[in-house]
Structure 1
Amino acid sequence: MKATHFAHSCVLLETGGARLLLDPGIWSTGFEDLRDLDAVLITHRHPDHFDLDRLAALLAANQHAELVVGPGTDAEVAEAGLAARTVAPGDALEVAGVAVTVVGGEHASIHPEVEVPPNVGFVVGHGAFYHPGDSLVVPEQAIDVLGLPTGAPWLKLSEAVEFFRAVAPRVAVPIHERTLSAAGIGVTHQRFHDLAPKGATVNVLPKGETVDLG
């Protein structure tokens, strides 16, 4: 499996002959020029995961790509005139020939007075990659590569480390970093290295560079 990180939560996966783009949001760049996409998957409607304007243009340039969204995002894409498959936690489907399991359903709490939308996570390829969106839900499946949230208004470092340990992947790919300064990102990545579960490694993907994760 190959992965390309376009900053923050946007990741391109190339696996099983399919090209899947997850969570192209306003803090991610470089995905706009992608072609030959098979599907775009959106975990939830927060703009750092879901940039509707650039998404519409991307889909216009990739007309055979399927758009897959969770509850709470479907109304917005329908209003914009975009066709989408709406999925819910527990769904098991095939997207561009690759198995995808939908997990979670709830966004992590930011503050009791801050309303949050539904959030689904996507387990791709029977556990080959897990993108949790804005949640710390531990899936039932064994996970090979984890998209590990680095910084967020809803996240403490201790929570991210315990999530990393609970999922216990072979490799963690840090994502969701744009709420932190460059110094803060570096400190957090080092903590991930230092506190990783036994046998796991941390692979910080250079922005826009495709990396073979095995």
Structure 2
Amino acid sequence: MKLTHFGHACLLVETGARLLIDPGTMSDLDGVRDLDAVLVTHQHPDHLDISRLAALMSANEKASLVVDADTAATVEGLPAHVVVEPGDRLRFGERESEATVDVLGGLHAAVYGDVPGCLNVGYLVDEGAFFHPGDSFLVPPSDVDVLAVPVDGPWLKLAEAVDYVRAVDPRVAVPMHEGETTDPAKYCGMLTAFAPQTKRLVRGTSTDVRP
């Protein structure tokens, strides 16, 4: 499996199929091609850049657009999309290199006080090869090999990210959701100090994360 971090929460997962997760406003989307699916965890702009979505889908005509129920209203008028809920299983790619995606989750992590919440789904690829939780600390019901872990945001503190890695106990933890930090390397370094399986991806560079 190969991963490419395009900034913040946006990751390209290649397991035969090419799956792009959370193309948001802080992500580099120019030139991303040959996608089988674009998966959106929730409606917030840092995870879904509506202004660039139409162009992204136009450049990837065979790709399916997958969104949660809260996000569906924001993509009306764009290419046909699939609305998912926890418990759904999707398949993408050619039969000989097919990827399965299980939809997990429920709600976005509480931001602060009475700030309204929204739905948030996580995507478990190939029965645990990779998990993207969106803006949540959801622990999947089965083992995870590579976990994308948020490291910054108004709804979390770094100690919670450490606790999350320890709860899931993946072979590799990939930091993400760092787009608003002034020093992402520092955050990743602090996570590594407490979760040594942390592996920071070089933005825009494909990395093989197989055992």
Q: Deviations over 1:71-98 (max 9, x none)?
A: 20111112x3331111101112213321
Which stretch has the larger CA shift, 92-101 or 155-164?
Answer: 92-101
- Which ranges of structure 1 fall in alignment gaps of 5 or more residues? none
In the TM superposition, what are the counterparts of 1:127-146 in structure 2 within 5 Å?
127-146=128-147
Cross-structure match for 1:37: 35
Whether the aligned pair in 2 keeps the contact of 1:20 and 1:39 (CA below 8 Å) is yes
Structure-1 residue corresponding to 2:79: 82
In the alignment, the residues of structure 1 paired with residue 64 and residue 142 of structure 2 have an alpha-carbon distance, to the nearest angstrom, of 24
Q: Is 1:24 matched with 2:20?
A: no
8 Å CA contact 2:54, 2:78 repeated in 1:
no
* Correspondence for 2:89: 92
Q: Which amino acid aligns with 1:124?
A: V
Structure 2 partner of 1:7:
7
8 Å contact 1:150–1:176 — kept in the other structure?
yes
Does residue 1:120 correspond to 2:116, yes or no?
no
Structure 1's consecutive aligned runs of 4 or more residues displaced over 4 angstroms after TM superposition are none
Cα drift, residue 213 of structure 1: 0.5
Q: Please state how far the C-alpha of 1:38 moved relative to its aligned partner.
A: 0.6
Identity of aligned residues (%): 49
Are residue 187 (structure 1) and residue 186 (structure 2) matched?
yes
- Give distance in 1, aligned partners of 2:207 and 2:78: 34
Q: Is the 8 A contact 2:172 2:199 kept in 1?
A: yes
Counterpart residue type for residue 62 of structure 2: H
TM-score, normalisation: structure 2:
0.94
1:19–1:38 Cα contact (<8 Å) kept: yes
Code of the residue aligned with 1:81 in structure 2: it is L
- Kindly state the Cα deviation for residue 191 of structure 1 after the two structures are TM-superposed: 2.1
